């Protein structure tokens, strides 16, 4: 088809007013695009390189190369956590990695499918040095490089450190943006733009932030104080469509009311794989990276601290220097050793890089010594005031030359905006609180060595305990006063300071500082006295404080108390009645420090008693119980085995509280074979009905539960929040009404219950056991359809078979993998057994005999009583007034439990339970059968509804 252009052309007439509007729009669009591209360009230059731990000087790294994705999760405590952050790190190390949804930094404003409303304001909490600032920098860099969030037109990253400098100034919001981001001066309106404001470091804010009494402001061009701008922007009155991202340490999270926060998130720091990834990226040599990773994992204190990215940086700096020296010195094992080496590295850096010295020159030049002493005084003075940010006047009071301080950048950081020119006020801080605490401890240590003055008995730091003792000026007295001060601190803010101070007392650490720290008399006796004082204190304090005291003993190289308990655990000689409070604390510490964690806890392995459970649940904690700072809970457990531990109704109240904790991750609770009764079950049901309860499996086999207890459980199962999938009520007396009530709950589709497996078997339900004829010893005779076995003197004409036992034994054909029950009537002496199929058949060694190897378990029944055997280990069961000629066996293969009972007048009386992990199907077996005969049948149970 052809077109006549001249014929078909329709003229378009534009008025002069429209030409002006189009021109204005084009100019405005060009201005907008120019501003955006200029801002992105400058953001790339600013954030593409980072100085790990250092702000103005040092070896920079490309952020995209070293960045390790941090673990951000939605949620976080609404309560203010004012504990020392080392305690918070310790707490995190105890928690298992839970199945929570991680949020990528680039998706921070993307709502989850469950959310109907868009997210306006996000608050991210995390302890100092965990990576909050780097996270916001990465977000900004990705936006500037057009990698993510391209629907966002402008990103404005602010820090409260910088905003604090404008506390007394007046700005409109537009003027404030132009002040910090001059690239945007061509833009006067932000209302219709999609912008993100980042406010990093709320915990450092010096603004009142009075959200309910501040002036209300809705005009972005009206001037007011920065404080008013912030409260109106955060509350949504100013630029209601803008997105805000606020970061803070946990203790300051409540500075902004919860109603103004759209989503709370939390940075968990590095997980174990992320620690490995960091060191792998940090070291070019895979061998060196592997060495560092392996070494850090050997030291619990180092491994815990590496949860914080900046401590990983400190570790990497130290190890890198030590590997380069190749002098064979061992890598640091304690925090004090690590920080001493870090100080040495920074001192050497200053000697070579700034002073023009040689590699062989002393690290401790007069200038270096003066600087470190001044920094130590500043650290100590400000630690007393709990200040983390200081001003020039603070430095001047300690005799610090500001220009010299900035060159010492590995330890000291300057924060100021040089490009502004108008605001030359400088803020200072140490690269991390732990560095400040180390230098503060060093200052106390140096002061005492030089002048004999104990700074800890003066002013605010003075302990109440010191007034009760003589005012000795001994070194031991100084350490005792430090211990007392740390214990008196409600939030543990001196915990790390104490560790460092005690670590500095060791001769080995003093030698590492030779040339700077004067060498004193041999301190072995002093260390011994201090360690003994700490052990005495362990008898009087809860586990949270005790954990730090054990770290202190590690710094003093005293592991005697822990080794003593470990030895008792290994030999099985631990007794709940004989442990002192200090020994209980040692047991708690060992459990929490286990490399394998506490995902599975079996009370029987420690002390099977109600007292032991009470002591442990009073001690092993991760979340404070309100109004009780010394009570904590076993909330990292996934499986809690309390079977056959002589528990009663008394224990159920504590367990009910435990399973209803918001932090509890318990999935499987085994309370079988305890006399809980209906009263105990009712208490337990209160916890089951809690919306926080995540329990999926509950085993209450043989707990003396009747119809009343079943009714309470039936009621608990109707709660909509219930996660329970499996309930074992075998070996109870639920009665017909109790059984029907539970079964009716499960069958009713209107109920919320998630239970899919209910164990309500009755021993009368049975199916016969089938003997494997190819395994029967030739001196065992079968009768009554192979259900009755008799040992005879005449050899039976069984054909040869490789599976036939040389011993007086046999196996059944049934390989058990679920839950099974059977009974045996016996006379004389019999071994009632379960075994893996691969047990040896030929010969008469332990490898063939039931109970004498790792492949079999057995109960020996005789007129003298009962004993149980496994792997040649014997447990003698206390004799009963009557020996029944009938025993029952109940095995729960998935749960790893094997229970034996004696049957008397149709009542089951518990004998013993094995707790283990079955790795293969189990085969019932019998052994050493003697006169006159033995009869048995299998009653197999696994009811699924």
Q: DSSP of 518-543, one letter per residue?
A: PP-S--HHHHHHHHHHHHHHTTSS-H
pLDDT at residue 867 in the model:
92
851 or 511, greater pLDDT: 851
Instruction: Tell me phi and psi for residue 436, to 5 degrees.
Output: -60, -40
CA separation for the pair 717, 705 (Å, rounded): 16
pLDDT at residue 354 in the model:
67
926 or 765, greater pLDDT: 926
pLDDT at residue 633 in the model:
37
**How many residues are recorded in the chain?**
945
Q: What pairs with residue 124 in β-bridges?
A: 247, 265
Poorest-pLDDT segment among 310-319, 857-866, 899-908: 899-908
In CATH, the number for domain 27-48+69-269 is 3.40.50.300
| Structure tokens, 508 | 């080995």
CA separation for the pair 602, 96 (Å, rounded): 17
| Structure tokens, 112 | 């989850």
pLDDT band at 264 (very low <50, low <70, confident <90, very high): confident
Instruction: Tell me phi and psi for residue 537, to 5 degrees.
Output: -65, -30
pLDDT at residue 836 in the model:
95
Q: Residue 156 above 90 pLDDT?
A: yes
Q: pLDDT, tens digit, for every residue of 99-144?
A: 455 677 777 788 776 666 788 999 988 877 677 888 888 889 889 8
CA separation for the pair 887, 826 (Å, rounded): 8
Q: Are 889 and 898 in contact (CB under 8 A)?
A: yes
DSSP 3-state assignment of 938?
strand
Domain ranges of the chain: 27-48+69-269, 472-595, 599-620+634-761, 766-941
Q: Residue 52 above 70 pLDDT?
A: no
Contacts of 931 (CB under 8 A, 6+ apart): 790, 791, 827, 828
Chain CA centroid to CA 600, Å:
15
DSSP 3-state assignment of 691?
coil
DSSP state, residue 290: H
A 10 A CB-CB count for 652 gives 24
- Run of H or E including 819: strand 819-825
Give 220-250 as a DSSP string.
Answer: TTS-EEHHHHHHHHHHTSSSTT-EEEEEE-G
Instruction: Evaluate if pTM is beyond 0.75.
Output: no
389 or 747, greater pLDDT: 389
DSSP state, residue 3: -
Q: Which of 106-110, 661-665, 682-686 tops mean pLDDT?
A: 682-686
DSSP 3-state assignment of 794?
coil
pLDDT at residue 211 in the model:
93
Q: How far is CA 861 from CA 202, 829, 857, 871, in A?
A: 70, 6, 13, 18
CA separation for the pair 126, 124 (Å, rounded): 7
Q: pLDDT, tens digit, for every residue of 770-795?
A: 899 999 999 988 888 887 888 888 99
Question: ω into residue 932 within 30 of 0, thus cis?
Answer: yes
CA separation for the pair 299, 595 (Å, rounded): 11
Q: How far is CA 246 from CA 48, 132, 204, in A?
A: 21, 10, 12
CA max distance for the chain? 124
790 or 837, greater pLDDT: 837
User: What's the whole-number average pLDDT of the chain?
Assistant: 76
How far the first Cα of the chain sits from its last, in Å, is 75
Contacts of 505 (CB under 8 A, 6+ apart): 445, 475, 479, 523, 526, 527, 530, 556
pLDDT at residue 225 in the model:
95
Average the pLDDT over 270-281 and give the result: 84
Q: Are 523 and 540 in contact (CB under 8 A)?
A: no
DSSP 3-state assignment of 198?
strand
Nearest alpha carbon to residue 476 among 496, 456, 497: 456
Instruction: Tell me phi and psi for residue 765, to 5 degrees.
Output: -75, 120
CA separation for the pair 266, 270 (Å, rounded): 12
Q: Residue 683 above 70 pLDDT?
A: yes
pLDDT band at 693 (very low <50, low <70, confident <90, very high): confident
Average the pLDDT over 238-261 and give the result: 89
Contacts of 117 (CB under 8 A, 6+ apart): 111, 262
Average the pLDDT over 667-684 and give the result: 88
pLDDT at residue 907 in the model:
67
Strands 886-892 and 873-876: unpaired
Q: Are 492 and 84 in contact (CB under 8 A)?
A: yes
Q: What percent of the chain has pLDDT over 90?
A: 18
DSSP 3-state assignment of 746?
helix
Give the CA angle between residues 802, 805, 808 to the nearest 5°. 165
632 or 426, greater pLDDT: 426
Q: What pairs with residue 158 in β-bridges?
A: 199
CA separation for the pair 819, 774 (Å, rounded): 25
Q: Residue 623 above 50 pLDDT?
A: no
724 or 669, greater pLDDT: 669
CA separation for the pair 758, 751 (Å, rounded): 15
CA separation for the pair 66, 87 (Å, rounded): 28
| Structure tokens, 5 | 């252009």
Contacts of 19 (CB under 8 A, 6+ apart): none
Q: Residue 386 above 50 pLDDT?
A: yes
Q: Residue 684 above 60 pLDDT?
A: yes
Q: Considering only the top CATH level, what class is 766-941? A: mainly beta
Domain 599-620+634-761 belongs to what architecture? Alpha-Beta Horseshoe (3.80)
> Residue holding tokens 């995902």?
599
pLDDT at residue 86 in the model:
56
Average the pLDDT over 656-668 and give the result: 74
pLDDT at residue 536 in the model:
86
DSSP 3-state assignment of 146?
coil
DSSP 3-state assignment of 50?
strand
DSSP state, residue 808: S
Q: Is 639 exposed, middle or buried (0-12, 13-18, 19+ CB in 10 A)?
A: middle
Poorest-pLDDT segment among 138-152, 620-634, 779-793: 620-634
CA separation for the pair 218, 222 (Å, rounded): 8
Strands 668-670 and 886-892: unpaired
CA separation for the pair 614, 264 (Å, rounded): 35
pLDDT at residue 510 in the model:
86
pLDDT at residue 430 in the model:
80
Strands 923-927 and 809-811: antiparallel
Q: How would you classify residue 95: left for phi > 0, otherwise alpha for psi between -120 and 50, otherwise beta?
A: beta
- Helix 543-555 to helix 560-571 angle (10° resolution) is 110
Strands 639-641 and 600-602: parallel
pLDDT band at 818 (very low <50, low <70, confident <90, very high): confident
pLDDT band at 30 (very low <50, low <70, confident <90, very high): low
DSSP state, residue 628: B
Q: What percent of the chain has pLDDT over 70?
A: 72
């Amino acid at each position: 088809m052809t077109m006549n252009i001249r014929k078909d052309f329709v003229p378009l007439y534009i008025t002069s007013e429209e030409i002006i509007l189009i021109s204005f729009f084009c100019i405005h669009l060009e201005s907008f695009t120019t501003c955006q591209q200029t801002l992105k360009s400058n953001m790339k230059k600013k954030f593409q390189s980072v100085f790990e731990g250092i702000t103005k000087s040092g070896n920079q790294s490309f952020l995209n190369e070293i960045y390790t994705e941090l673990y951000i999760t939605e949620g976080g405590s609404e309560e203010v956590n004012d504990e020392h952050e080392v305690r918070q790190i310790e707490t995190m190390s105890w928690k298992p990695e839970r199945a929570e949804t991680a949020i990528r930094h680039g998706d921070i404003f993307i709502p989850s499918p469950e959310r109907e409303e868009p997210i306006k304001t996000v608050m991210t909490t995390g302890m100092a040095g965990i990576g909050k600032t780097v996270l916001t920098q990465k977000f900004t860099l990705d936006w500037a490089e057009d990698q993510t969030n391209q629907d966002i037109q402008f990103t404005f990253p602010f820090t409260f450190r910088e905003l604090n400098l404008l506390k007394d100034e007046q700005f409109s919001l537009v003027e404030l943006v132009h002040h910090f981001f001059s690239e945007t001066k061509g833009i006067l309106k932000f209302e219709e733009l999609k912008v993100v404001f980042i406010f990093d470091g709320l915990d450092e804010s010096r603004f009142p932030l009075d959200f309910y009494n501040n002036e209300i402001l809705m005009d972005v061009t009206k001037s007011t104080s920065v404080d008013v701008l912030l409260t109106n922007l955060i509350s949504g009155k100013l630029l209601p469509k803008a997105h805000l991202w606020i970061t803070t340490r946990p203790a300051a999270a409540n500075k902004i009311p919860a109603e103004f926060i759209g989503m709370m998130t939390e940075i968990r720091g590095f997980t174990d794989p992320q620690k490995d990834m960091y060191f792998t990226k940090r070291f070019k040599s895979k061998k060196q990276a592997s060495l560092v990773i392996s070494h850090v994992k050997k030291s619990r204190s180092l491994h815990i601290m590496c949860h914080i990215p900046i401590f990983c940086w400190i570790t990497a700096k130290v190890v890198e220097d030590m590997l380069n020296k190749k002098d064979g010195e061992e890598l640091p094992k304690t925090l004090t050793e690590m920080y001493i080496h870090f100080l040495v590295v920074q001192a050497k850096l200053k000697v070579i890089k700034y002073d023009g010295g040689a590699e062989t020159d002393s690290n401790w030049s007069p200038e270096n010594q003066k600087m470190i002493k001044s920094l130590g005084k500043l650290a100590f003075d400000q630690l007393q005031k709990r200040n983390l940010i200081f001003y020039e006047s603070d430095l001047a009071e300690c005799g610090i030359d500001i220009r010299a301080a900035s060159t010492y950048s590995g330890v000291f950081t300057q924060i100021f905006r040089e490009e502004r020119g108008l605001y030359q006020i400088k803020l200072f801080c140490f690269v991390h609180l732990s560095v400040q605490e180390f230098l503060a401890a060093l200052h106390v240590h140096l002061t005492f060595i030089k002048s004999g003055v104990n700074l800890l008995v003066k002013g605010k730091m003075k302990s109440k305990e010191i007034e009760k003792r003589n005012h000795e000026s001994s070194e031991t007295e100084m350490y005792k006063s430090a211990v007392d001060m740390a214990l008196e601190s409600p939030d543990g803010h001196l915990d790390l300071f104490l560790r460092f101070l005690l670590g500095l007392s060791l001769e080995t650490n003093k030698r590492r500082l030779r040339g700077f720290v004067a060498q004193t008399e041999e301190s072995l006796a002093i260390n011994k006295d201090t360690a003994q004082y700490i052990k005495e204190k362990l008898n009087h304090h809860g586990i949270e404080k005790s954990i730090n005291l054990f770290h202190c003993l590690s710094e003093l190289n005293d592991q005697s108390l822990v080794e003593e308990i470990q030895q008792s655990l290994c030999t099985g000689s631990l007794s709940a009645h004989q442990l002192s409070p200090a020994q209980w604390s040692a047991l708690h510490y060992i459990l929490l420090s286990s490399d394998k964690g506490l995902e599975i806890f079996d009370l029987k392995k420690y002390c099977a008693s109600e007292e032991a459970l009470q002591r442990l649940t009073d001690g092993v904690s991760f979340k404070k119980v309100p109004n009780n700072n010394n009570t904590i809970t076993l909330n990292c457990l996934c499986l809690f085995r309390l079977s056959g531990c002589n528990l009663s109704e008394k224990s159920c109240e504590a367990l009910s509280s435990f399973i209803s904790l918001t932090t509890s991750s318990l999935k499987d609770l085994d309370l079988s074979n305890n006399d809980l009764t209906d009263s105990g079950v009712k208490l337990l049901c209160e916890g089951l009905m809690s919306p926080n309860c995540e329990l999926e499996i509950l085993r209450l086999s043989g707990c003396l539960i009747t119809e009343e207890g079943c009714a309470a459980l039936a009621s608990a199962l109707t709660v909509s929040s219930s996660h329970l999938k499996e309930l074992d009520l075998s070996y109870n007396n639920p009665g017909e009404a109790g059984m029907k009530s539970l079964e009716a709950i499960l069958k009713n589709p209107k109920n919320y219950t998630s239970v899919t497996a209910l164990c309500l078997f009755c021993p009368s339900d049975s199916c016969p056991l089938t003997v494997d004829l190819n395994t029967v010893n030739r001196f065992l005779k079968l009768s009554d359809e192979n259900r009755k076995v008799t040992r005879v003197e005449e050899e039976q004409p069984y054909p040869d078979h490789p599976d036939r036992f040389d011993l007086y034994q046999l196996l059944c054909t049934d390989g058990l993998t679920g839950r099974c029950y059977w009974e045996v009537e016996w006379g004389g002496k019999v071994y009632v057994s379960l075994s893996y199929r691969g047990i040896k058949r030929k010969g008469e060694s332990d490898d063939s005999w039931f109970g004498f190897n790792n492949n079999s378990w057995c109960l020996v029944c005789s007129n003298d009583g009962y004993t149980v055997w496994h792997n040649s280990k014997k447990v003698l069961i206390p004799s009963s007034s009557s020996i029944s000629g009938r025993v029952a066996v109940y095995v729960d293969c998935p749960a790893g439990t094997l229970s034996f009972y004696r049957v008397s007048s149709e009542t089951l009386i518990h004998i013993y339970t094995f707790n283990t992990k079955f790795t293969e199907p189990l085969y019932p077996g019998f052994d050493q059968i003697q006169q006159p005969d033995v009869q048995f049948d299998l009653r197999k149970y696994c009811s699924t509804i």
